[in-house]
Amino acid sequence: MNAPSPPPGPRWLYLHGFASGPSSTKGLWLDAHWAKQGICLERLNLRVPSLERLSLGAMLDTVRDTLGAPQERAVLIGSSLGGLVAARCAQQDPRVGALVLLAPAFHFVEQLQRRMGQDGWAHWQRTGFIETDDHAEKRRTRVHHGLVEEAQAMDARLGVWPDVRVPTLIVHGRKDDTCDVRYSREWAQSKRHVRLVEVDDGHELTASLPRIALESDAFLTPWRGGVAPQQVFTAG
């Protein structure tokens, strides 16, 4: 009689950033890199329900729906806002076994306010929409203010800092003027299960892709076999 097949290994999911898409430069590059090693990187579409009506809750639902059955496990690789979504998912869902966060958008609302300035922020609140670049479709678009209200409600309910207990690698650029590296430093401080790697790069991290691959390959070695390792840190 044939021996039973081993259970499938964890799924590897890529979560793109704000106003980006599943065919982002980082997503495609990492997909090609891991495909050479026989690893399938599923690049999720987090432009849900649309970029104009972007919703953090809908993003989390998209990730959870992809995670599969209760016994399945996944590695989440999240960039910028996708990094925050990945951390929020790990905070609440035990199916997430490990994280790789690329310039994660911790303190999302606070960082948006800083970048937009007082006048821009007031305009967004007053009109209900703000114009921004759609990096995936190469056009100008607008995003509703409900995204901010939803983020603020989530921070109030779950805490501003995601309470993540799974092994986590962060790669963040010291020249990042979109998501300040100091938030990653503060979040990683004193967490033995978090490794922070700072690089001489900006928010896009395109110059650091080989370093991201090198660090991720080493960090995720336990998840590269047929079976996910026993999870030491449990989601809070």
- Residues 200-226 have pLDDT tens digits of 999 999 999 999 999 999 999 999 864
Q: Which CATH superfamily groups domain 11-218? A: Alpha/Beta hydrolase fold, catalytic domain (3.40.50.1820)
Instruction: For residues 173-189, give the mean pLDDT.
Output: 98
DSSP track, 62-110: HHHHHH-STT--EEEEEETHHHHHHHHHHHH-TTEEEEEEES--TTHHH
- Residues 29-88 have pLDDT tens digits of 999 999 999 999 999 999 999 999 999 999 999 999 999 999 999 999 999 999 999 999
Q: What is the residue extent of each domain of the chain?
A: 11-218
Above 60 in pLDDT, residue 153? yes
Q: Do 176 and 150 form a contact (C-beta atoms < 8 A)?
A: no
- Asked whether the CA dihedral 46, 48, 51, 55 is positive or negative, the reply is negative
- Asked whether the CA dihedral 23, 228, 194, 234 is positive or negative, the reply is positive
Instruction: For residues 117-139, give the mean pLDDT.
Output: 95
Q: What is the largest CA-CA distance in the chain?
A: 72
Looking at residue 224, its pLDDT comes to 82
Looking at residue 225, its pLDDT comes to 64
Alpha-carbon torsion angle 139, 144, 148, 153, nearest 10:
-140
The span from the CA of 209 to the CA of 232, in Å, is 28
